[in-house]
Amino acid sequence: MNFKDNKPIYLQIAEHICDEVLAGVYQTDQRIPSVREFAASVEVNANTVARSYDYLQQSGIIYNKRGLGFFVAEGAERIITDMRREQILGDELHQMFSRMATIGISPDELHRLYTEYLKQQ
């Protein structure tokens, strides 16, 4: 896993796990790798992964079965989608629109590019 400098590693790990939940790698009530297993696989400190798991647990995306590990919570996909939608429509889109206005990208050009993107998917 390649980490970026602009965001804390624990959040990048949490996003990665969320991506895997949305992609179907982990299903509802399925066990995810232990903190130690995941830390070894991405070569980070186990405390960093533990912080990621705590964040995901507080968000309602995973839950802990004592002695068994962490599992994907019911409705995790919806929670992830709602969180990402809120993040994009709130902060990220506003920043992108501000940059676009600054460099003169028109709404028509944005619409055309987005339509082309959707056709390629």
Of 59, 47, 46, 54, give the one whose Cα is nearest residue 70: 54
**Can you give the residue ranges of every domain in the chain?**
9-76, 77-120
Helix (H) or strand (E) holding 72: strand 69-72
pLDDT > 70 fraction of the chain, expressed in percent and rounded: 100
Q: How far is it, in rounded angstroms, from Cα 29 to Cα 26? A: 8
Banded pLDDT at 2 (limits 50, 70, 90): confident
User: At the top level of CATH, which class does the domain 9-76 belong to?
Assistant: mainly alpha
Higher pLDDT, 71 or 90: 71
Threshold 0.85, pTM exceeds: no
b/e code 66-97 from CB counts within 10 Å (16+ = b): eeeebbbbeebbebbeeeeeeeeeeeeeeeee
